[in-house]
Structure 1
Amino acid sequence: MKMKEAKEEYISKKEGHTYWQWTLALLVTMTVFTYGLDLGWISPMARILQSEQSPAGEPLSDVTLSWIASVLCLAAVFSVYLFSYLADRFGSKASVMAIIVPQAISWILRLCFASGTWLIISRSFTGIAAAGCFNALVLYIKEISQDSIRGTLVSMIILMQNIGVFVMYIMGAYLDYYTIVYIVACIPVVTGILLFKAPQSPAFLVKQGKTEEAIATLAFLRGLDKDHKIVISEVAMMKNENDNYKSEPNMSLISIMKNPIWRRGIIITIFIFAAQSFNGAFALMTYASPILTSTGVKLSVSAETLTLSIPPVLIFGSTVNMICAERIGRRTINMLMLSISACSMLGIAASMLIKHFDGTVPSWLPIMSMIVSVWAYAGGVSALPFIVMAEMFSFQIRAKVMGLIVTLAWFMAFLPIVGYMPLSNAIGLHTTFFIFAGINMFGVFFTAIFLPETRGKNVEQIEKALAIRIGLEKVDKNPT
């Protein structure tokens, strides 16, 4: 009997396919690919915008360029809830499609107006779109993907972003300002046309009471018949979850926070994002050349060549993360990558400290530390919080909770950008990187103690794990 059940389970796993899940994930992540292009746009364009041949008609000042670079994060902070509202009210597909509008406006403005003021405005629209890229995309991919590939598909968001950065660096080396803008402006338009044919998520269809349509959509995504037991079981689970929350259709963040299980999940996710934001990799990528110079290492390549080497490392790290996402537990990946990042930051800090006392630093140490740190960031530190966030919460509260968490994440990402230079000038570069190492180690211990394993588990199983950790015997769905 047991052999027969095992055989049936094996046959069930071999049925169906994931082609459409991969295709849709690739299609929606074209929006984050466009964001990656914009993220990498500043580096090759800074030289052009500050030259006598600037499309603005005059060289842009350092202050103006700084605002063009940093306004993205500020705009994102105030835009997250727009996409959360759209996802909650009209579904995650509508929220994804809404990303395309500000992206298209951003590049059209750059095409029509090239002054400093208009470039700041255009990058503000990029920030609005970026808020959706790490909110709506995570939500949609989570809701269309099955448990076995969920982490891999969510990891694709970071990979596509990094590919976008790399492509822009290459285009910036060979193409002029207007040619680049013309090319990139077409991408959101084409993506939007293709997205019209994308299905709404089954979870939202269940929420709307369209059970038959949800069954048809889920069967299409899984490559199974409508009456297959896997399809019927998943939709039944969604319907049961939806029925459990019908008594609270308009739950506010306050009522959500009253539930001890949800509150614990939110706090854990925020701390995981904090470790990501303050781990130091972004500051390292932004100021790579001056940081290496401060270690006393004599560079044999130009700053431009060094900068160009960072995106391939990011892409390699993202690829490794995608491959390992469903083979290694979330906790293991996060602890491993944060540990590697901590060691790398210690290597950089030690190099600076040795240089401070007129010692000799091995030339390979700071360079290797920088490369390994960037790789670890792309290999798990940057993607893992989004994967955990997508898996942690039920679809009834997911949009609201993700809105809160992603807003805080954007604000935390903004702080290192504005605070790195003042902090380094006040306490010294080496001390700053020792602090980064300490934050990474804090992330390691926090993950080990508080983060439950979410790989391959549904929301109910994750909530049970959270309930056990806070001493509750069962999951209480009533937030009051």
Structure 2
Amino acid sequence: MAIVQQAICTFIVCLLSTSAGFIYSWPSSTITMFSSTNTTLNRPMTVTEQTMFASVFAIVALIMTPATGYLLDKIGRKNTCILFALPQIISWVIISSSRSVELVLTAMCISGVGGCILTCVPMYISEICQETIRGTMLAGVNLFYGIGITLSYVFGGCLSYQTMNYTCLSISAASIILMTYMRESPLYLLKKGLDEEAAKSVAFYRSVKVDSKVVVEEIETIRRTLNSLTAGEQLPEEESLKPPKTPEKRSILQIIRKSKSSRQGIIVVLAVTLLSMFQGVAGVQVYAQPLFEKAMPSVSGNLMSVVFGLLNITSGFIAAFLVDIYGRRRLMICSSALSGITCLAVATQVHMQWGPDWLTVVFIYIYCIVYTFGGGTVPYIIMAEFFLPEVKSFMVMVCTEWAWICNFLVVFTLSIFVTNFGIASAFYLFSVFCILSVVYCYYYLPETKALTVDVIQTLLIKKRQNI
């Protein structure tokens, strides 16, 4: 029952990611219409407005993400998730009630604030799920985000403009209502000294009574983790030789300066995130419809986008199961290698035309599937696993901020790159980053499957010492 309860709670929290996916990929199904003379807006969008329309979500998310680190520790994981889900509703209300280009762009700016949900959700899930299923549950964040992207493609092709807007608005509102079922993270409650509430939270997520042995043991484990500022950086025999010290209050920067594992962890996560993002799928998601129309003009771009999204979802489900079976490191290495091969296949096919047009689309689909197993899943898991509780909010915020920077660069430059140098050149570049990812992960990425945070800290230090 405990796993079922955690799965239900993960599903509810991940629905917030689905709402973010709706609006993030909304430009893919509307940008062609908005730039044409048949636009539903008061006038066609200019080229500059089209570029901003596709990338402003990432820009605003990038600007607003630093606030999440503060809010996660100030008002809690649950309340921060709800707070950053509200901008999606506001955006859909504006979009549904306006025909102005300027107001639609404003709505996209507001929705970017909701992009911060992708910082909050992984952290929340990592603190409410047990280690044995943590990787699978964390994989749900990206999976449900992909579901939102795919549904956006489907709605854009099957529903009228206004019906799509109202549908997305309804689902976004429902996700917030369901959040009332959730309880606050027990780790956050213990940090605030709310021991009784923390015990009730653990009991809720483990489907046991508050006074059960399971609750007592888990509370003790969390308390031990909170009291260990530099877990894993000294061997137990070294610690036993030192006299006990009275715990002192340290700032986040002081903890980071003292904790070698935190510094090593942030370097690894930032590097893996950069290499994953520049494998290019984020850009393909936003520009899916026009990109597919260029690759294969004879077939509906919207239809190919929907298939692309469905493959993302399917591969996301498979990745969610594999990540706790084969581990993060192995999946990341194998996925990056296969992504590099498929990127080269796409590039050479477009460049040399050695096969039929449909082969280009097939290779893009394969590329999307294998990417999801590694770059589309692993970075979001390790950023929620690598850090000590005292610095976790800050570190996850920094990692997500970096992810949005990389996301913006890929999305903003892909259209310009394709226009000036062609699709083939873009995929040649993606393949280079895939190869770099294989090399980096082989030497620097430790395996964290089913490990507690203190053991992960030890691995980070050992990895650093062995290099």
- The runs of 5 or more residues in structure 2 that have no matched partner are 230-245
**Alignment partner, residue 478 of structure 1:** none
Which residue, out of 437, 441, 455, partners 2:431? Answer: 437
Change in 2 beyond 3 A, CA 1:428/1:257: farther
Change in 2 beyond 3 A, CA 1:361/1:292: farther
The offset of 1:136, in angstroms, is 0.4
Distance 1:194 1:425 in 2: 44
**Alignment partner, residue 302 of structure 2:** 304
**Alignment partner, residue 389 of structure 2:** 395
Change in 2 beyond 3 A, CA 1:65/1:103: same
**Alignment partner, residue 39 of structure 1:** 24
Q: Secondary structure at the match of 2:454?
A: helix
The offset of 1:172, in angstroms, is 2.0
Distance 2:106 2:258 in 1: 39
% identity of equivalent residues? 24
Is 1:460 aligned with 2:454?
A: yes
Is 1:367 aligned with 2:365?
A: no
Change in 2 beyond 3 A, CA 1:247/1:110: farther
The offset of 1:449, in angstroms, is 0.8
Distance 1:113 1:90 in 2: 34
- The runs of 5 or more residues in structure 1 that have no matched partner are 1-15, 473-480
Change in 2 beyond 3 A, CA 1:106/1:421: closer
The offset of 1:263, in angstroms, is 0.5
Instruction: Indicate if the aligned counterparts of 2:16 and 2:176 stay in contact, CA closer than 8 A.
Output: no
After superposition, residues 222-261 of structure 1 pair within 5 angstroms as 222-245=206-229, 247=247, 249=249, 251-253=251-253, 255-261=255-261
* Offset from partner CA, 1:124-148 (integer Å, 9 cap, x none): 11111012x2110001101100111
After superposition, residues 306-455 of structure 1 pair within 5 angstroms as 306-355=304-353, 360-361=354-355, 363=357, 365-423=359-417, 429-455=423-449
Give aligned pairs, total: 450
More divergent stretch after superposition (212-221 vs 85-94)? 212-221
Change in 2 beyond 3 A, CA 1:166/1:116: same
The offset of 1:248, in angstroms, is 5.6
Q: Which one-letter code corresponds to 2:87 in the other structure?
A: P
**Alignment partner, residue 153 of structure 2:** 169
Q: Secondary structure at the match of 1:18?
A: helix
Change in 2 beyond 3 A, CA 1:137/1:308: same
Q: Secondary structure at the match of 1:273?
A: helix
TM-score when normalising by structure 2: 0.89
Instruction: Indicate if the aligned counterparts of 2:277 and 2:406 stay in contact, CA closer than 8 A.
Output: yes
**Alignment partner, residue 10 of structure 1:** none
Q: Secondary structure at the match of 1:148?
A: helix
* Offset from partner CA, 1:287-334 (integer Å, 9 cap, x none): 55776787xx76552323222221111111111111212111110111
Q: Which one-letter code corresponds to 2:216 in the other structure?
A: I
**Alignment partner, residue 206 of structure 1:** 190
**Alignment partner, residue 91 of structure 1:** 76
Instruction: Indicate if the aligned counterparts of 1:318 and 1:380 stay in contact, CA closer than 8 A.
Output: no
Distance 2:322 2:263 in 1: 29
The offset of 1:409, in angstroms, is 0.9
Is 1:62 aligned with 2:47?
A: yes
More divergent stretch after superposition (99-108 vs 256-265)? 256-265
Instruction: Indicate if the aligned counterparts of 1:353 and 1:430 stay in contact, CA closer than 8 A.
Output: yes
TM-score when normalising by structure 1: 0.87
Q: Secondary structure at the match of 2:326?
A: coil
**Alignment partner, residue 275 of structure 2:** 275
Q: Secondary structure at the match of 1:199?
A: coil
Distance 2:289 2:16 in 1: 30
Distance 1:288 1:416 in 2: 13
The offset of 1:113, in angstroms, is 2.4
Change in 2 beyond 3 A, CA 1:471/1:380: closer
**Alignment partner, residue 3 of structure 1:** none
How large is the RMSD of aligned CA atoms in angstroms?
2.4
Change in 2 beyond 3 A, CA 1:53/1:250: farther
Is 1:216 aligned with 2:216?
A: no
Instruction: Indicate if the aligned counterparts of 2:143 and 2:317 stay in contact, CA closer than 8 A.
Output: yes
